[in-house]
């Protein structure tokens, strides 16, 4: 914007809660702002964009543009893209620039993506498209090539901590914990600050993890049976368990290497220190590899029960090292 060269379409890439929508909305504000330093956040257009009431700024996603049979949408349909195209051909209603934000662009049907392609190939003046996605590899290459690609990077932990303490008044230990747990994803930290159930769930998962590590094979296989059943309903929740395991074992590695100040689970440092004494560095590294391999195999649709049983069998045995 400073250089006066805003593209007509951006592809913003990053995991959930990474700031894609925030950035897209701030860009929409900046392009329509009436303040001296856009986006000022306080002028009428800026406030309208923030509250979703600006006539020239539209968000298209699974929850927008109600469909005829009232079923929840599972993809962004061609009807939504057509409606957006029609609207983009009209001049701005109240602002200077029309901004269309496609939230979850990877969820566009093939028809919808092809239809959008025509608009991206012949951009109109004063219209900006922002496509938000967690995974650009599933978008048609033709669509990606018509957009300016912006990959959002995780924020460094100290920066998350500062941003979080500016926005929420939490105890400093909790601010630090959330800043570590979010892995550079400020949106998640803010969500967890407002909703205690996220930290409660984590506490339950850690409790279970400790039981499983200390348990015998029978207890471990019971847990696998539970997870495998869960997997058919909700894959993401099993991936969440694996992510937590990965964090835990990475922490053990860091503690073992004498870098306790960089661990994620800062509230469990004493347990980690004690546990790390029972394993060699090679054992910890090997198990980290096993967790990563299990995650990849699940993604490739391997049998979840088998994958998780193999993972349980590779939990290293504790010895006095």
In the complex with Zn ion, which residue's Cβ is closer, 57 or 263? Answer: 57
In the complex with Zn ion, which residue's Cβ is closer, 43 or 152? Answer: 43
Compute the least distance from the CB of residue 22 to Zn ion, in Å. Answer: 15
Compute the least distance from the CB of residue 64 to Zn ion, in Å. Answer: 24
Binding of Zn ion by 97 (CB under 5 A): no
Q: Cite the DSSP H helix spans in the chain.
A: 20-32, 44-50, 78-88, 110-121, 141-145, 157-167, 172-181, 186-194, 197-214, 217-233, 235-256, 269-276, 281-299, 304-313
Binding of Zn ion by 116 (CB under 5 A): no
Half-sphere exposure of 17 (CA within 13 A, CB side): 12
The structure tokens listed for 304 are: 């979840």
In the complex with Zn ion, which residue's Cβ is closer, 52 or 156? Answer: 52
Binding of Zn ion by 46 (CB under 5 A): yes
Q: Which stretch binds Zn ion (CB under 5 A): 45-53, 74-82, 125-133, 202-210?
A: 45-53
In the complex with Zn ion, which residue's Cβ is closer, 47 or 230? Answer: 47
Q: Which stretch binds Zn ion (CB under 5 A): 4-12, 44-52, 119-127, 291-299?
A: 44-52
Q: Is the bond preceding residue 39 a cis peptide, omega within 30 degrees? A: yes
Compute the least distance from the CB of residue 132 to Zn ion, in Å. Answer: 22
Residue with tokens 């028809």: 111
User: How many residues belong to the site for Zn ion (CB under 5 A)?
Assistant: 5
In the complex with Zn ion, which residue's Cβ is closer, 35 or 65? Answer: 35
Positions in 224-253 near Zn ion (CB under 5 A):
none
Compute the least distance from the CB of residue 50 to Zn ion, in Å. Answer: 10
CA–CA distance, 297 with 238 (Å, rounded to integer): 13
In the complex with Zn ion, which residue's Cβ is closer, 95 or 295? Answer: 95
CA distances from 97 to 93, 150, 202, 240, 294 (A): 9, 20, 43, 40, 47
Closest CA to 126 of 87, 153, 73, 79: 87
In the complex with Zn ion, which residue's Cβ is closer, 26 or 106? Answer: 26
Compute the least distance from the CB of residue 45 to Zn ion, in Å. Answer: 6
Task: Determine which helix (DSSP H) or strand (DSSP E) holds 127, and give its type and residue range.
Answer: strand 127-133
Q: Which stretch binds Zn ion (CB under 5 A): 46-54, 56-64, 164-172, 198-206?
A: 46-54
Q: Which residues of 227-248 are buried (b: 16+ CB within 10 A; e: fewer)?
A: bbeebeeeeeebeebbebbbbb
Helix 157-167 / helix 172-181 crossing angle, nearest 10 deg: 130
Given candidates 6, 23, 43, 293, which one binds Zn ion under the rule CB under 5 A? 43
For the window 22-41, what string marks contact with Zn ion as x by the rule CB under 5 A? -----------x-x----x-
In the complex with Zn ion, which residue's Cβ is closer, 44 or 243? Answer: 44
Helix 172-181 / helix 186-194 crossing angle, nearest 10 deg: 130
Q: What does the binding site for Zn ion look like in residue numbers (CB under 5 A)?
A: 33, 35, 40, 43, 46
């Amino acid at each position: 914007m400073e250089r006066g060269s805003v593209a007509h379409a951006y592809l913003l890439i990053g995991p959930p809660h990474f700031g894609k929508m925030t950035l897209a909305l701030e860009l929409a504000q900046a392009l329509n702002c009436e303040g001296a330093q856009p986006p000022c956040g306080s002028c009428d257009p800026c406030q309208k964009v923030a509250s979703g009431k600006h006539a020239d700024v539209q968000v298209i996603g699974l929850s927008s543009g109600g469909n005829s049979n009232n079923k929840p949408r599972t993809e962004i349909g061609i009807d939504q893209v057509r409606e957006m195209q029609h609207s983009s051909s009209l001049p701005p209603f109240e602002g200077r620039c029309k901004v269309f934000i496609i939230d979850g662009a990877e969820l566009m049907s093939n028809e919808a993506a092809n239809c959008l392609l025509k608009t991206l190939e012949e951009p109109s003046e004063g219209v900006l498209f922002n496509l938000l996605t967690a995974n650009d590899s599933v978008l048609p290459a033709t669509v990606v090539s018509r957009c300016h690609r912006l990959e959002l990077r995780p924020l460094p932990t100290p920066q998350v901590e500062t941003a979080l303490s500016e926005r929420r008044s939490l105890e400093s230990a909790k601010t630090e914990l959330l800043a570590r747990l979010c892995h550079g994803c400020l949106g998640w930290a803010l969500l967890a600050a407002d909703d205690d159930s996220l930290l409660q769930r984590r506490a339950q998962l850690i409790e279970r993890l400790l039981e499983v590590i200390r348990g015998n094979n029978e207890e471990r296989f019971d847990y696998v049976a539970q997870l495998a059943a869960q997997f058919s309903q909700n894959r993401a929740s099993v991936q969440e368990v694996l992510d937590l395991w990965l964090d835990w074992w990475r922490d053990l590695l860091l503690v073992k290497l004498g870098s306790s100040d960089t661990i994620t689970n800062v509230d469990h440092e004493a347990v980690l220190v004690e546990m790390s004494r029972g394993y060699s560095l090679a054992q910890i590294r090997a198990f980290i590899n096993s967790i990563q391999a299990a995650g990849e195999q699940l993604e490739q649709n391997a049998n979840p029960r088998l994958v998780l049983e193999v993972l349980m069998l590779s939990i290293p045995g504790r010895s006095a090292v």
